[in-house]
Amino acid sequence: MSDAQALGLVGGVFVFAIIILAASYVISSLGYYFIFKKSNVESWKGWVPFYRVWTVVEVAKLNWWWFLIALASNIVSIIFSQENNSALEWLARIASAVGNYAILFNLCKKANKSNGMAILGIFFPGLAYLIMGASGEYQFDDSVQLTPNGPFDANKGNSTNNVNNNTVNNNSGSTSVKFCPNCGGSLNGDKFCPNCGSKVDE
């Protein structure tokens, strides 16, 4: 292979990589754009790297540090750009996948849908955001109660929703059964939950 051919090959690979990166950016940006539009958020934020992740974390009503988890791979790439640490890079990629899953999990819940799109987001986050944003099947309901850690405290949120302030009447109608607001376990009238030990408000 001549020098000219080698240079042409390298140039072709470089151009191809640029096209892939540009396409990936456009796909994910459109996804954020449509999601923000559905959420009554300024849609231009979907085109701003990093800031759009912060915004979608707010839309999903997650704790602020999910922003850092979702961007873990980007943060590691920037800080350790001059080092070759494949183990750290893989851990960061896994963290980013978990972050995207948590965000999309809450967005699916907000749209009263199953978490199938959240699973897709583990592997193809940009595509998942685009489908969710562009599809008319995903319409967000702000009245849905979301948990600040997505799927990792979803059961706690469900327990709180189900008991509705954790008081229900028994069959006789003369007394009431109270439940712990933290774990959903039944209470015996004590100041602390016998199941998880949390203090119970009177």
CA dist., res. 82 & res. 69, Å (int): 22
Per-residue pLDDT tens over the stretch 51-66: 999 999 999 999 999 9
Instruction: Say how many CA atoms lie within 13 Å of 94 toward its Cβ.
Output: 6
pTM of the model: 0.74
User: For the chain, what are the domain ranges?
Assistant: 3-140
Contacts 24+ apart (CB under 8 A), 7-11: none
Could you tell me the two tokens for 50?
């990093």
Per-residue pLDDT tens for 60-100?
999 999 999 999 999 998 888 777 778 899 999 999 999 99
Alpha carbon distance 156, 184 (integer Å): 8
Cα 66 to its chain centre, rounded Å, is 8
